[in-house]
Amino acid sequence: MASIPAKTDAESGEPALDRVIGPALLLLFVVGDILGTGVYALTGKVANEVGGAVWLPFLLAFVVALLTAFSYLELVTKYPRAAGAALYTHKAFGVHFLTFMVTFAVMCSGLTSASSAAKAFSGNFAEAFGLPSSILVALGFLTVVALINFRGVGESVKANVLLTAVELTGLLIVIGIGAWALGHGDGDLSRLTEFATPPGESIVLSVTAGTALAFFAMVGFEDSVNMAEETRDPVRIFPRVMLLGLCITGAIYVLVAISAVALVAPADLGSGDTPLLKVVEAGAPGFPLSAFAFITMFAVANSALINMMMASRLLYGMARERVLPSALGRVHPTRRTPWVGIVFTTAIAFGLIGFADLTALGGTTALLLLGVFTVVNVACLVLRRDRVEHRHFRAPTVLPVLGTAACAFLASPLSGRAAADYRVAGLLLLIGAVLWAITRAVTR
Protein backbone atom coordinates (compact mmCIF):
# COMPACT_ATOMS: atom_id res chain seq x y z
CA MET A 1 0.00 0.00 0.00
CA ALA A 2 1.37 3.40 -0.94
CA SER A 3 1.94 5.80 1.93
CA ILE A 4 -0.18 8.93 2.16
CA PRO A 5 1.99 11.99 1.55
CA ALA A 6 2.37 14.36 4.47
CA LYS A 7 0.46 17.62 4.34
CA THR A 8 2.59 20.66 3.62
CA ASP A 9 2.68 24.22 4.88
CA ALA A 10 1.11 26.55 2.32
CA GLU A 11 3.77 29.25 2.75
CA SER A 12 7.01 27.30 3.11
CA GLY A 13 6.22 24.09 1.24
CA GLU A 14 7.65 22.15 4.22
CA PRO A 15 5.67 19.33 5.87
CA ALA A 16 3.04 20.75 8.24
CA LEU A 17 2.49 19.76 11.85
CA ASP A 18 -0.23 17.19 12.47
CA ARG A 19 -3.57 18.48 13.80
CA VAL A 20 -4.68 15.73 16.20
CA ILE A 21 -5.51 17.59 19.44
CA GLY A 22 -9.22 17.88 20.17
CA PRO A 23 -11.02 19.53 23.14
CA ALA A 24 -10.54 16.63 25.59
CA LEU A 25 -6.83 16.19 24.82
CA LEU A 26 -6.25 19.95 25.00
CA LEU A 27 -8.00 20.13 28.38
CA LEU A 28 -5.80 17.36 29.77
CA PHE A 29 -2.75 19.10 28.31
CA VAL A 30 -3.65 22.36 30.12
CA VAL A 31 -4.53 20.64 33.40
CA GLY A 32 -1.47 18.37 33.32
CA ASP A 33 0.87 21.24 32.50
CA ILE A 34 -0.38 23.53 35.28
CA LEU A 35 -0.48 20.79 37.93
CA GLY A 36 3.01 19.59 37.10
CA THR A 37 5.34 19.15 40.06
CA GLY A 38 4.99 22.64 41.54
CA VAL A 39 2.22 21.98 44.03
CA TYR A 40 3.97 18.86 45.35
CA ALA A 41 6.81 21.05 46.67
CA LEU A 42 5.54 24.65 46.79
CA THR A 43 2.83 24.22 49.42
CA GLY A 44 5.39 24.10 52.21
CA LYS A 45 7.42 27.03 50.86
CA VAL A 46 4.32 29.22 50.61
CA ALA A 47 3.42 28.23 54.19
CA ASN A 48 6.79 29.59 55.27
CA GLU A 49 5.83 32.96 53.80
CA VAL A 50 2.28 33.39 55.10
CA GLY A 51 1.65 30.74 57.74
CA GLY A 52 -1.76 29.06 57.91
CA ALA A 53 -3.39 31.24 55.24
CA VAL A 54 -1.47 29.30 52.59
CA TRP A 55 -4.59 29.05 50.43
CA LEU A 56 -4.70 32.83 49.86
CA PRO A 57 -1.52 33.17 47.73
CA PHE A 58 -2.66 30.24 45.57
CA LEU A 59 -6.03 31.93 45.06
CA LEU A 60 -4.42 35.28 44.17
CA ALA A 61 -1.97 33.56 41.81
CA PHE A 62 -4.96 31.92 40.09
CA VAL A 63 -6.62 35.33 39.62
CA VAL A 64 -3.47 36.83 38.08
CA ALA A 65 -3.08 33.82 35.77
CA LEU A 66 -6.74 34.10 34.75
CA LEU A 67 -6.32 37.78 33.79
CA THR A 68 -3.35 36.92 31.56
CA ALA A 69 -5.14 33.88 30.12
CA PHE A 70 -7.76 36.19 28.57
CA SER A 71 -5.00 38.02 26.66
CA TYR A 72 -3.55 34.70 25.49
CA LEU A 73 -7.00 33.58 24.33
CA GLU A 74 -7.53 36.70 22.25
CA LEU A 75 -4.12 36.31 20.64
CA VAL A 76 -4.14 32.54 20.03
CA THR A 77 -7.56 32.71 18.36
CA LYS A 78 -6.42 35.72 16.34
CA TYR A 79 -3.10 34.11 15.34
CA PRO A 80 -3.59 30.31 15.70
CA ARG A 81 0.04 29.42 15.09
CA ALA A 82 2.92 27.93 17.09
CA ALA A 83 5.37 30.08 19.12
CA GLY A 84 2.88 31.72 21.50
CA ALA A 85 4.23 34.72 23.43
CA ALA A 86 7.21 35.16 21.11
CA LEU A 87 4.93 35.33 18.06
CA TYR A 88 2.63 37.90 19.70
CA THR A 89 5.62 40.02 20.74
CA HIS A 90 7.00 39.84 17.21
CA LYS A 91 3.72 40.95 15.66
CA ALA A 92 3.03 43.70 18.19
CA PHE A 93 6.43 45.38 18.36
CA GLY A 94 8.53 44.04 15.48
CA VAL A 95 11.74 44.42 17.50
CA HIS A 96 14.00 41.46 16.79
CA PHE A 97 15.92 41.75 20.07
CA LEU A 98 12.74 41.83 22.20
CA THR A 99 11.24 38.89 20.30
CA PHE A 100 14.43 36.87 20.75
CA MET A 101 14.62 37.62 24.48
CA VAL A 102 10.99 36.57 24.99
CA THR A 103 11.70 33.38 23.03
CA PHE A 104 14.79 32.76 25.15
CA ALA A 105 12.97 33.41 28.44
CA VAL A 106 10.11 31.06 27.59
CA MET A 107 12.51 28.39 26.33
CA CYS A 108 14.60 28.71 29.52
CA SER A 109 11.49 28.25 31.65
CA GLY A 110 10.53 25.09 29.79
CA LEU A 111 13.97 23.48 29.63
CA THR A 112 14.80 24.35 33.24
CA SER A 113 11.50 22.81 34.34
CA ALA A 114 12.08 19.69 32.22
CA SER A 115 15.63 19.21 33.47
CA SER A 116 14.52 19.72 37.07
CA ALA A 117 11.81 17.14 36.48
CA ALA A 118 14.39 14.69 35.10
CA LYS A 119 16.51 15.05 38.25
CA ALA A 120 13.42 14.67 40.43
CA PHE A 121 12.45 11.56 38.46
CA SER A 122 15.90 10.09 39.11
CA GLY A 123 15.56 10.77 42.84
CA ASN A 124 12.09 9.26 43.10
CA PHE A 125 13.14 6.29 40.97
CA ALA A 126 15.99 5.64 43.38
CA GLU A 127 13.65 5.97 46.38
CA ALA A 128 11.01 3.68 44.90
CA PHE A 129 13.47 0.90 44.01
CA GLY A 130 16.03 1.37 46.79
CA LEU A 131 18.80 2.40 44.40
CA PRO A 132 21.30 5.28 44.52
CA SER A 133 20.27 8.35 42.53
CA SER A 134 22.11 8.52 39.19
CA ILE A 135 22.49 11.15 36.52
CA LEU A 136 22.28 8.32 33.98
CA VAL A 137 18.67 7.71 34.99
CA ALA A 138 17.90 11.39 34.42
CA LEU A 139 19.59 11.35 31.00
CA GLY A 140 17.84 8.11 30.03
CA PHE A 141 14.52 9.55 31.14
CA LEU A 142 14.95 12.67 28.96
CA THR A 143 15.95 10.44 26.03
CA VAL A 144 12.67 8.52 26.34
CA VAL A 145 10.78 11.83 26.51
CA ALA A 146 12.55 13.00 23.32
CA LEU A 147 11.67 9.76 21.50
CA ILE A 148 7.99 10.11 22.46
CA ASN A 149 8.07 13.73 21.33
CA PHE A 150 9.65 12.75 18.01
CA ARG A 151 7.31 9.81 17.48
CA GLY A 152 4.34 12.13 17.03
CA VAL A 153 2.07 14.61 18.74
CA GLY A 154 -0.67 11.98 18.91
CA GLU A 155 1.55 9.63 20.92
CA SER A 156 2.77 12.53 23.09
CA VAL A 157 -0.70 13.75 24.08
CA LYS A 158 -1.86 10.19 24.74
CA ALA A 159 1.06 9.74 27.11
CA ASN A 160 0.03 13.05 28.68
CA VAL A 161 -3.47 11.66 29.31
CA LEU A 162 -2.06 8.78 31.35
CA LEU A 163 0.42 10.91 33.26
CA THR A 164 -2.12 13.64 34.01
CA ALA A 165 -4.55 11.05 35.37
CA VAL A 166 -1.89 9.76 37.77
CA GLU A 167 -0.71 13.17 39.03
CA LEU A 168 -4.33 14.31 39.40
CA THR A 169 -5.05 11.16 41.41
CA GLY A 170 -2.24 12.06 43.81
CA LEU A 171 -3.74 15.48 44.53
CA LEU A 172 -7.26 14.09 44.85
CA ILE A 173 -5.91 11.61 47.41
CA VAL A 174 -4.59 14.54 49.47
CA ILE A 175 -7.94 16.36 49.20
CA GLY A 176 -9.88 13.19 50.04
CA ILE A 177 -7.71 12.41 53.06
CA GLY A 178 -8.13 15.99 54.26
CA ALA A 179 -11.91 15.83 53.93
CA TRP A 180 -12.07 12.42 55.65
CA ALA A 181 -9.86 13.51 58.56
CA LEU A 182 -11.73 16.78 59.08
CA GLY A 183 -15.04 14.94 58.93
CA HIS A 184 -13.85 12.75 61.79
CA GLY A 185 -12.88 15.70 63.93
CA ASP A 186 -9.15 15.67 63.18
CA GLY A 187 -7.23 18.71 62.01
CA ASP A 188 -7.55 22.39 62.85
CA LEU A 189 -9.41 24.68 60.44
CA SER A 190 -8.66 27.74 62.59
CA ARG A 191 -5.13 27.75 61.11
CA LEU A 192 -6.58 28.90 57.78
CA THR A 193 -6.89 32.47 59.08
CA GLU A 194 -3.52 32.62 60.83
CA PHE A 195 -0.74 34.73 59.31
CA ALA A 196 2.90 34.27 60.24
CA THR A 197 4.93 37.36 59.33
CA PRO A 198 8.57 38.09 60.21
CA PRO A 199 9.16 40.93 62.72
CA GLY A 200 8.75 44.33 61.08
CA GLU A 201 7.05 42.94 57.97
CA SER A 202 3.42 43.59 57.07
CA ILE A 203 0.84 40.92 56.31
CA VAL A 204 0.35 42.42 52.85
CA LEU A 205 4.03 42.00 51.97
CA SER A 206 4.00 38.40 53.22
CA VAL A 207 0.95 37.63 51.08
CA THR A 208 2.42 39.25 47.95
CA ALA A 209 5.71 37.39 48.46
CA GLY A 210 3.75 34.16 48.86
CA THR A 211 1.73 34.96 45.74
CA ALA A 212 4.88 35.62 43.71
CA LEU A 213 6.13 32.19 44.82
CA ALA A 214 2.79 30.40 44.32
CA PHE A 215 2.53 31.82 40.81
CA PHE A 216 5.14 29.27 39.70
CA ALA A 217 2.52 26.58 40.34
CA MET A 218 0.04 28.34 38.02
CA VAL A 219 2.30 28.83 35.01
CA GLY A 220 1.83 26.25 32.31
CA PHE A 221 -1.42 27.32 30.72
CA GLU A 222 0.61 29.42 28.27
CA ASP A 223 2.42 26.32 26.98
CA SER A 224 -0.75 25.13 25.31
CA VAL A 225 -0.83 28.03 22.80
CA ASN A 226 2.40 26.67 21.31
CA MET A 227 0.34 23.65 20.22
CA ALA A 228 -2.10 25.76 18.18
CA GLU A 229 -0.94 24.34 14.83
CA GLU A 230 -1.55 20.81 16.12
CA THR A 231 -5.03 21.57 17.47
CA ARG A 232 -8.24 20.95 15.55
CA ASP A 233 -10.10 24.25 15.12
CA PRO A 234 -8.08 26.19 17.74
CA VAL A 235 -10.17 29.35 17.27
CA ARG A 236 -13.29 27.56 18.48
CA ILE A 237 -12.05 25.28 21.25
CA PHE A 238 -9.24 27.24 22.96
CA PRO A 239 -11.37 29.75 24.93
CA ARG A 240 -13.60 27.31 26.79
CA VAL A 241 -10.89 24.66 27.23
CA MET A 242 -8.20 26.96 28.67
CA LEU A 243 -10.61 28.72 31.04
CA LEU A 244 -12.05 25.39 32.22
CA GLY A 245 -8.56 23.98 32.76
CA LEU A 246 -7.50 27.02 34.79
CA CYS A 247 -10.60 26.84 36.98
CA ILE A 248 -10.13 23.11 37.62
CA THR A 249 -6.51 23.50 38.65
CA GLY A 250 -7.18 26.64 40.69
CA ALA A 251 -9.84 24.80 42.70
CA ILE A 252 -7.55 21.81 43.23
CA TYR A 253 -4.71 24.01 44.48
CA VAL A 254 -6.89 25.83 46.99
CA LEU A 255 -8.39 22.55 48.28
CA VAL A 256 -4.94 20.95 48.57
CA ALA A 257 -3.68 24.00 50.49
CA ILE A 258 -6.66 23.87 52.87
CA SER A 259 -6.23 20.13 53.49
CA ALA A 260 -2.50 20.54 54.04
CA VAL A 261 -2.58 23.34 56.59
CA ALA A 262 -5.57 21.89 58.45
CA LEU A 263 -3.74 18.61 59.08
CA VAL A 264 -0.13 19.78 59.44
CA ALA A 265 1.07 22.85 61.33
CA PRO A 266 2.49 25.50 58.94
CA ALA A 267 5.95 25.34 60.53
CA ASP A 268 6.12 21.56 59.99
CA LEU A 269 4.63 21.87 56.51
CA GLY A 270 7.36 24.32 55.52
CA SER A 271 10.26 22.09 56.61
CA GLY A 272 11.60 19.50 54.19
CA ASP A 273 10.87 18.85 50.52
CA THR A 274 7.81 16.56 50.77
CA PRO A 275 4.98 18.59 52.36
CA LEU A 276 2.13 16.57 50.84
CA LEU A 277 3.67 13.34 52.08
CA LYS A 278 3.40 14.78 55.59
CA VAL A 279 -0.27 15.55 54.96
CA VAL A 280 -1.01 11.98 53.90
CA GLU A 281 0.93 10.60 56.86
CA ALA A 282 -0.96 12.86 59.31
CA GLY A 283 -4.43 12.26 57.88
CA ALA A 284 -4.13 8.56 56.98
CA PRO A 285 -1.22 6.88 58.81
CA GLY A 286 -2.07 3.53 57.23
CA PHE A 287 -1.78 4.81 53.66
CA PRO A 288 1.17 3.22 51.77
CA LEU A 289 3.52 6.18 51.55
CA SER A 290 5.74 4.43 49.00
CA ALA A 291 2.89 4.80 46.50
CA PHE A 292 3.48 8.56 46.54
CA ALA A 293 6.99 8.08 45.19
CA PHE A 294 5.48 6.46 42.09
CA ILE A 295 2.79 9.16 41.79
CA THR A 296 5.47 11.86 41.96
CA MET A 297 7.47 10.03 39.29
CA PHE A 298 4.48 10.24 36.94
CA ALA A 299 3.91 13.91 37.83
CA VAL A 300 7.48 14.93 37.02
CA ALA A 301 7.42 12.81 33.85
CA ASN A 302 4.39 14.76 32.65
CA SER A 303 6.11 18.09 33.39
CA ALA A 304 9.13 17.06 31.37
CA LEU A 305 7.10 15.80 28.41
CA ILE A 306 4.89 18.88 28.15
CA ASN A 307 7.75 21.35 28.56
CA MET A 308 9.88 19.61 25.95
CA MET A 309 6.94 19.60 23.54
CA MET A 310 6.44 23.33 24.15
CA ALA A 311 10.12 24.22 23.72
CA SER A 312 10.51 22.41 20.41
CA ARG A 313 7.31 24.00 19.00
CA LEU A 314 8.46 27.42 20.18
CA LEU A 315 11.70 27.13 18.21
CA TYR A 316 9.80 25.75 15.22
CA GLY A 317 7.38 28.69 15.24
CA MET A 318 10.06 31.37 15.54
CA ALA A 319 12.16 29.73 12.83
CA ARG A 320 9.13 29.97 10.55
CA GLU A 321 8.91 33.67 11.49
CA ARG A 322 12.62 34.02 10.52
CA VAL A 323 13.60 35.11 14.02
CA LEU A 324 15.70 31.95 14.47
CA PRO A 325 17.75 29.97 11.90
CA SER A 326 15.44 28.21 9.45
CA ALA A 327 16.90 24.78 10.26
CA LEU A 328 15.06 24.83 13.60
CA GLY A 329 11.78 24.92 11.69
CA ARG A 330 12.27 21.64 9.83
CA VAL A 331 9.48 19.06 10.20
CA HIS A 332 10.01 15.31 9.74
CA PRO A 333 8.17 14.26 6.54
CA THR A 334 6.54 11.14 8.04
CA ARG A 335 6.36 11.79 11.80
CA ARG A 336 5.20 15.43 11.23
CA THR A 337 7.13 16.66 14.27
CA PRO A 338 9.77 19.46 14.48
CA TRP A 339 12.67 17.05 14.74
CA VAL A 340 15.53 19.58 14.64
CA GLY A 341 13.91 21.59 17.44
CA ILE A 342 13.45 18.38 19.45
CA VAL A 343 17.11 17.39 19.08
CA PHE A 344 18.32 20.92 19.88
CA THR A 345 16.20 21.40 23.02
CA THR A 346 16.99 17.90 24.28
CA ALA A 347 20.72 18.59 23.97
CA ILE A 348 20.35 21.78 26.04
CA ALA A 349 18.27 19.94 28.65
CA PHE A 350 21.03 17.31 28.90
CA GLY A 351 23.52 20.06 29.71
CA LEU A 352 21.24 21.68 32.31
CA ILE A 353 20.99 18.43 34.29
CA GLY A 354 24.61 18.93 35.33
CA PHE A 355 23.76 22.00 37.44
CA ALA A 356 23.36 20.96 41.08
CA ASP A 357 21.21 23.94 42.01
CA LEU A 358 18.81 23.55 39.11
CA THR A 359 15.77 22.94 41.30
CA ALA A 360 16.37 26.30 43.01
CA LEU A 361 15.56 28.15 39.78
CA GLY A 362 11.78 27.98 40.29
CA GLY A 363 11.60 31.56 41.55
CA THR A 364 13.69 32.78 38.63
CA THR A 365 11.50 30.88 36.17
CA ALA A 366 8.39 32.51 37.61
CA LEU A 367 10.09 35.93 37.46
CA LEU A 368 11.00 35.52 33.78
CA LEU A 369 7.49 34.35 32.89
CA LEU A 370 5.90 37.24 34.78
CA GLY A 371 7.98 39.55 32.61
CA VAL A 372 6.82 37.67 29.52
CA PHE A 373 3.18 37.85 30.67
CA THR A 374 3.51 41.61 31.15
CA VAL A 375 4.68 41.92 27.54
CA VAL A 376 1.87 39.65 26.28
CA ASN A 377 -0.82 41.70 28.05
CA VAL A 378 0.55 44.88 26.47
CA ALA A 379 0.82 43.13 23.08
CA CYS A 380 -2.85 42.16 23.31
CA LEU A 381 -3.78 45.85 23.54
CA VAL A 382 -1.32 46.95 20.84
CA LEU A 383 -2.57 44.31 18.36
CA ARG A 384 -6.16 45.55 18.62
CA ARG A 385 -5.26 47.73 15.62
CA ASP A 386 -4.36 44.66 13.56
CA ARG A 387 -7.47 43.29 11.87
CA VAL A 388 -7.79 39.67 10.74
CA GLU A 389 -10.36 38.15 8.39
CA HIS A 390 -11.77 35.50 10.73
CA ARG A 391 -13.77 35.98 13.93
CA HIS A 392 -11.86 35.47 17.17
CA PHE A 393 -12.16 35.74 20.93
CA ARG A 394 -11.90 39.28 22.31
CA ALA A 395 -11.06 39.95 25.95
CA PRO A 396 -12.72 42.86 27.78
CA THR A 397 -10.17 45.71 27.61
CA VAL A 398 -9.97 46.07 31.38
CA LEU A 399 -8.57 42.51 31.78
CA PRO A 400 -5.30 42.99 29.81
CA VAL A 401 -4.83 46.30 31.65
CA LEU A 402 -5.27 44.63 35.05
CA GLY A 403 -3.13 41.70 33.89
CA THR A 404 -0.29 44.06 32.91
CA ALA A 405 -0.39 45.80 36.29
CA ALA A 406 -0.62 42.56 38.31
CA CYS A 407 2.19 40.75 36.46
CA ALA A 408 4.48 43.80 36.53
CA PHE A 409 3.90 44.18 40.28
CA LEU A 410 4.64 40.52 41.06
CA ALA A 411 7.81 40.75 38.95
CA SER A 412 8.99 43.87 40.78
CA PRO A 413 10.90 44.12 44.09
CA LEU A 414 7.73 45.61 45.61
CA SER A 415 6.28 42.10 45.80
CA GLY A 416 8.95 41.00 48.27
CA ARG A 417 10.67 38.68 45.79
CA ALA A 418 14.08 37.31 46.79
CA ALA A 419 17.10 39.22 45.46
CA ALA A 420 18.64 35.95 44.24
CA ASP A 421 15.86 35.63 41.66
CA TYR A 422 16.96 38.89 40.02
CA ARG A 423 20.63 37.92 40.01
CA VAL A 424 19.97 34.59 38.29
CA ALA A 425 17.46 36.15 35.88
CA GLY A 426 19.97 38.88 34.99
CA LEU A 427 22.63 36.27 34.24
CA LEU A 428 20.25 34.28 32.04
CA LEU A 429 19.18 37.40 30.14
CA LEU A 430 22.81 38.36 29.62
CA ILE A 431 23.43 34.94 28.09
CA GLY A 432 20.34 35.47 25.96
CA ALA A 433 21.67 38.83 24.73
CA VAL A 434 24.96 37.21 23.70
CA LEU A 435 23.11 34.45 21.85
CA TRP A 436 20.94 37.09 20.13
CA ALA A 437 24.05 38.82 18.80
CA ILE A 438 25.42 35.51 17.50
CA THR A 439 22.07 34.50 15.97
CA ARG A 440 21.66 37.91 14.36
CA ALA A 441 25.07 37.64 12.75
CA VAL A 442 24.33 34.12 11.45
CA THR A 443 20.85 34.86 10.09
CA ARG A 444 22.08 37.97 8.29
Q: 308-336, pLDDT tens digit by residue?
A: 988 898 888 888 888 888 888 899 888 88
**Whether pLDDT at 82 is above 90:** no
Residue 6 lies in a domain: no
Alpha helices, H only, 264-382:
266-269, 275-283, 290-320, 339-352, 362-382
- The DSSP line for 336-361 is -S-HHHHHHHHHHHHHHTT-TTGGGG
Residue 2 lies in a domain: no
pLDDT of residue 335: 86
Residue 61 lies in a domain: yes
Residue of 425 and 63 predicted with greater confidence:
63
Contact by Cβ (8 Å): 156, 148: yes
Q: What is the CATH number of the domain that holds 276?
A: 1.20.1740.10
Q: Distance between CA 156 and CA 304 in Å, rounded?
A: 11
Q: In percent, how much of the chain has pLDDT > 70?
A: 91
Model-level pTM? 0.85
**Out of 85-89, 237-241, 271-275, which region has the weakest mean confidence (pLDDT)?**
271-275
Query: Which range marks the domain in which residue 201 is found?
Result: 23-443
- Amino acid in the structure at residue 260: A
Could you read off the pLDDT of 114-154 as tens digits, one per residue? 887 788 788 777 766 777 767 888 899 999 999 999 998 88
Give every CB contact of residue 270 below 8 A, 6+ residues apart in sequence: 44, 45, 47, 48
Contact by Cβ (8 Å): 406, 115: no
Q: Distance between CA 391 and CA 396 in Å, rounded?
A: 16
Mean local confidence (pLDDT), 2-15 = 52
- Going by pLDDT thresholds of 50, 70 and 90, the confidence category of residue 88 is very high
Residue 5 lies in a domain: no
Q: For residue 109, which of 252, 31, 251, 218 has the smallest C-alpha distance?
A: 218
**Whether pLDDT at 5 is above 50:** no
Could you read off the pLDDT of 94-112 as tens digits, one per residue? 999 999 999 988 888 888 8
**Whether pLDDT at 359 is above 80:** no
Residue 105 lies in a domain: yes
Burial class (CB in 10 A: 0-12, 13-18, 19+), 10: exposed
Residue 1 lies in a domain: no
Contact by Cβ (8 Å): 327, 344: no
pLDDT of residue 374: 96
Number of domains within the chain? 1
